[in-house]
Chains A and B, each alone.
Chain A
Amino acid sequence: MSNRIDVKKTYKLYINGAFPRTESGRTYEVKSAKGVFVANPCLASRKDLRDAVVAARAAHSGWNKATAYNRGQILYRIAEMLEGRRAQFVDEIMQLTGVTKVKAEKEVTDSVDRLVWYAGWTDKIASLAGSTNPVAGPFYNFTIPESMGVVAAIAPETPSLLGFIDVVAPIITSGNTVVVLASTKAPLSAMTFAEVLATSDLPHGVINILTGKKEEIAPWMASHMDIDALDISGLPAKQHGPIKFAGAENLKRIHSFKSADPGRIIAFMEAKTVWHPIGL
């Protein structure tokens, strides 16, 4: 079989459950850690971002309305699908980042475990971040956290799979939908992860994935008026200021994080307080 020519994969975007090419027709070259050509992923454009936001907005009502139990099972299902394709992710991580097999395997293991961890949060975060409030009057008063809507995110360059999951999973755990820009240098993990998502019963449009350049996409994310919040964990700190400045136009909630924590889920939830009188 040594003469066989490999069938190589075309890496495209993941928008609304489909795998379109960028409307811009642009690609960029991704090379392995050893400098060998690997793929021509899409160089996503502002229009791709807008299309992805439309899909994410349309998906929000359904995903937000899904029971926490249901969302938990789907997140768990994503973990199951990822577990089943470990080898492919290990290969891609090694190829693009040059890490050892042991390190790559650990990243994939951690990624699966992290998804399971978030799956368990879907039906617990409300009791952590909500409250009943003993107001001084004849009222029943409670605060429940709920999803914000459409959150955009910039995944960190590395680790390309675990970093991506750490950004995306907490956002969707509470019922938000997300448009995420994958690692520029190592986008294969994210795009292969899209194939995992496509087989995980995740409703179309809940996670939308773009590949391309941060400096091109991030400013449009910041100024887009139908994006409610932004996770800029994947942006260098010196770029945070201009992004926050642009995001002020619709007062986006803009955060960045260093570790996995339930605070990441809560940061992209709104607290809603409901009053009702008590009486005969």
Chain B
Amino acid sequence: MSFEYAPAPESRALVSIKPKYGHFIGGKFVAGGKHFPTINPATEEVLSQIALAGKAEVDAAVKAARKAYTTTWSKLSGKERGKYLYRIARIMQERAREFAVLETLDNGKPIRESRDTDIPLAAAHFFYHAGWADKLEYAGLGTSPKPLGVAGQIIPWNFPLLMLAWKVAPALAAGNTVVLKPAESTPLTALLFAEVCQQAELPAGVVNILTGDGSTGALIVNHPGIDKIAFTGSTEVGKIIARAVASTNKSVTLELGGKAANIVFDDAPIDETVEGIVNGIFFNQGHVCCAGSRLLLQENVAEEVLHKLKNRMEKIRVGDPMDKNTDVGAINSKEQLAKITELAAVGDAEGAERWSPACSLPAKGFWFAPTIFTGVTQAHRIAREEIFGPVLSVLTFRTPQEGIEKANNTPFGLSAGIWSEKGSRTLWASQQLRAGVIWANTFNKFDPTSPFGGYKESGWGREGGRHGLSAYLKGVSHE
């Protein structure tokens, strides 16, 4: 029996994309010099021409941010700063559908996810941090914590607006001003956010948005006028940043890669677990730093879980991201598709067994079918390296101790999943796992009140909650 879904496309009419964008510096859009295209990865349609910021633009943005910091933003009371953030949150809610459509067009993620996850969470982050602005003395950093100054913020393409919110909201609440660079392939919602700042009448220069590529990011990181760097992206680039700022006084937070274990014990509720596995690795096409990309199955339930997982995967709908029924959308870029394809080929070559459900992929755009590899060992590259795509490596274990040992056998430590009906075992496992976020009997949940961030090579610091806020404040004794 098969269910056919009639197409249910979301309307594009809500968004108007300009043929060309400049940078947002000092409260105004400023024409750029060189431009590069941003495309819809589901169709390869060119959506707009995006400006590439060079040294002059970075200088101008840092200068505008510094001016806003010294003349306006640091002079404003926390209460008034908070009101601006509340305004931003409200406008984002009002324009949520527009943001969602734009995000899906530029990123390739299903409209269901941008509409139900990315945009509401982004607005929630501003609403949450708005309330911190006049309560900083209660953040656990002494009676008069101080902002750091100008924050340079570099964000990835997997959750463009949400990552912007994670960076900008705490920075502003704490009294900093920002220079933010969205990812090269997903700049459009950040540019729409610039309009939101204008509508909210945010003082000029408090938020500056520069578009560009890695070269722009490097200029921001190395700019002497920047006091703090916040970066989300690959561990490789994170290390480059850590070295670049080693001899400076810049504060740094890094949210980097992961290779999360999703551990299934033999007492797990199997049907819920299968849903959790699917959500863990196929949410957002697997373009998630905390994705549950290593499935660790206790041996005695491995066969049953795999059988049900494959059944479930047969029902995943891959295709048009704008269709409200789509589960898995387009891979964000040609480069990312090449990387996923290459690592999957390594999986084949190293002897793991590949399986994908039968699914027809659109002819245009960048696509990769949901894939699992079984027979994976800990030494395989697909068990060690972040694939950042819809590819799941399956390993097995016999005893709970062995499961934990395998889970922790990675230089990363961002997240982990636990599936078990036994409370004591769940708490034991969450204690043993060396990861910053543990999802027990759930996966890929996010909230502005909940600190997010990794151990080991998954980064420095947390985002969200009181812990995340402190990354934008100077404490007492800590140099």
Where the two chains meet, the residues of A that have a C-beta atom closer than 8 Å to any C-beta of B are 128-129, 131, 133-137, 139, 141, 143, 148, 228, 240-245, 247-251, 253, 255-261, 263-264, 267, 270-277
Alpha-carbon distance A37/B253, docked complex (angstroms): 48
8 intermolecular pairs with C-beta atoms under 8 Å apart:
A131-B466, A136-B449, A139-B445, A228-B456, A251-B254, A272-B436, A275-B442, A276-B426
Query: Closest chain B residue to A237 by CB distance?
Result: B479
Q: A248-B243, A248-B246 are in contact. Are A271 and B436 (CB under 8 A)?
A: yes
B436 contact set on A, CB distance < 8 A: 270-273
Q: Please determine whether B478 and A261 come into contact, CB atoms closer than 8 angstroms.
A: yes
B88 contacts partner chain A, Cβ-Cβ < 8 Å: no
Task: With both chains docked as a complex, state the minimum distance between the C-beta of A119 and any C-beta of chain B, in angstroms.
Answer: 19
Complexed CA–CA distance, A259 and B411 (Å): 32
Residue in B124, B447, B475, B476 whose beta carbon sits within 8 Å of that of A133 in the complex: B447
* Per-residue contact bits, chain B 359-394, to A (CB 8 Å; 1 contact, 0 not): 000000000000000000000000000000000000
> Closest CB-CB distance, B450 to chain A, in whole Å?
5
Query: Is B452 close to A, CB under 8 A?
Result: yes
A243 to B438, CA, bound (A): 32
- The reply to whether B246 and A245 form a contact with Cβ atoms under 8 Å apart is yes
Residues of B close to A141: CB separation below 8 A: 447, 449-450
B320 within 8 A of A: no
What are the nearest 6 A-B pairs in CB distance?
A: A241-B247, A248-B242, A261-B477, A244-B246, A135-B447, A245-B246
- The answer to whether residues A136 and B447 also contact, given A244-B246, A250-B457, A273-B437 and a CB cut-off of 8 A, is yes
Residues of A within 8 A of B457 (CB): 250-251
Task: State the CA gap A277–B419 with chains docked (Å).
Answer: 11
Chain A proximity of B242: nearest CB distance (Å): 4
Q: Which residues of B are interface residues toward A (Cβ below 8 A)? A: 124, 140, 235, 238-239, 242-243, 246-248, 254, 256, 411, 426, 430, 435-442, 445, 447, 449-453, 455-457, 459-460, 462, 465-467, 475-479
Q: Report yes or no: B451 in contact with A143, Cβ–Cβ below 8 A.
A: yes
A257: chain B residues within 8 A (beta carbon): 477-479
User: Which residues of chain A are within 8 angstroms of B465 by Cβ–Cβ distance?
Assistant: 131, 133, 143, 273
Given contacts A244-B246, A245-B247, contact A273 B442 (CB under 8 A): no
Beyond known contacts A251-B254, A271-B451, A272-B436: 17 more, CB 8 A cutoff = A135-B450, A139-B442, A143-B451, A250-B456, A251-B238, A251-B456, A255-B478, A258-B479, A259-B477, A263-B478, A271-B462, A272-B430, A273-B437, A273-B465, A275-B437, A275-B438, A276-B442
Interface pair B242/A244, CB less than 8 Å apart: yes
* Contact between chains at B447 and A137 (CB < 8 Å): yes
Q: Which residue of B lies closest to A132 (CB)?
A: B449
The answer to whether residues A143 and B467 also contact, given A256-B479, A261-B477 and a CB cut-off of 8 A, is: yes
B440 close to A275 (CB less than 8 A): yes
Chain B residues contacting A139 (CB-CB under 8 Å) are: 442, 445
Decide: A276 near B450, CB < 8 A? Known: A257-B477, A258-B479. no
> For A255, A257, A276, which residue has the most chain B Cβ atoms within 10 angstroms?
A276
The answer to whether residues A271 and B449 also contact, given A139-B442, A258-B477 and a CB cut-off of 8 A, is no
